[in-house]
Chains A and B, each alone.
Chain A
Amino acid sequence: QQQVKQSPQSLIVQKGGIPIINCAYENTAFDYFPWYQQFPGKGPALLIAIRPDVSEKKEGRFTISFNKSAKQFSLHIMDSQPGDSATYFCAALVGGSARQLTFGSGTQLTVLP
């Protein structure tokens, strides 16, 4: 059962554009929602994370918007650059003693120069 659904599968934007990646979850026990960036041949790198008690979090050019009632969250990348071209994964975690991450299926982002 896929507990975190991510879309779109791929995304192409021009430099300076604002790509938006969306995720929806089913398990209301999830308590932590990180986004990871992964380059080919590398492990996922933590970008930014949010908890369900806030609706938005911004770090640099990356913003998470969180809608608890809709069970959805999204990543916005402001002023995107070619160096942002990578695969992005959303994830969710229940917390407490259960600390494993449940990942979405990934979005391959290409930022054209």
Chain B
Amino acid sequence: GAGVSQSPRYKVAKRGQDVALRCDPISGHVSLFWYQQALGQGPEFLTYFQNEAQLDKSGLPSDRFFAERPEGSVSTLKIQRTQQEDSAVYLCASSLLSYRNYEQYFGPGTRLTVT
């Protein structure tokens, strides 16, 4: 079946612009995660959804970052008033929600460059 898809794959934004990044999880996956990966680093957790409920947003770096998943499927990560430090790859992952099944499957990511 289809894996996690993300769009756009690449986004260039001028400092101060708003951007929206989309994630389509694997069909049937209840859990959805957003991670931020800086160049040469491991991914860092941003936020977690279970269906449409955002259960954890402790990793969002500032109030300029906002994520939603209104119908429990597709999710959008929005960054307002982008700054140069926001330049990174934004990864989405999805997972089944079952007892002790923690396997997360990642999409290809969106590379955001803020100029």
Interface residues of A (CB under 8 A from B): 6, 31-32, 34, 36, 41-46, 49, 51, 89, 91, 93, 95, 97-106
A49 engages B103 (CB within 8 Å): yes
B40 engages A106 (CB within 8 Å): yes
B45 engages A95 (CB within 8 Å): no
Stretch at the interface among B11-19, B63-71, B75-83, B104-112: B104-112
* Chain A residues within 8 Å of B31, by CB: 99
The number of residues on chain B lying at the interface, defined by a beta carbon within 8 Å of a beta carbon of chain A, is 26
Number of interchain pairs (Cβ within 8 Å): 62
Interface residues of B (CB under 8 A from A): 4, 31, 33, 35, 40-45, 48, 55-56, 59, 91, 93, 95, 100, 102-109
Per a CB cutoff under 8 Å, which of A6, A41, A101, A105 touches B45?
A101
9 contacts between A and B (CB under 8 A): A32-B100, A32-B102, A42-B109, A93-B102, A100-B48, A100-B59, A104-B42, A106-B41, A106-B42
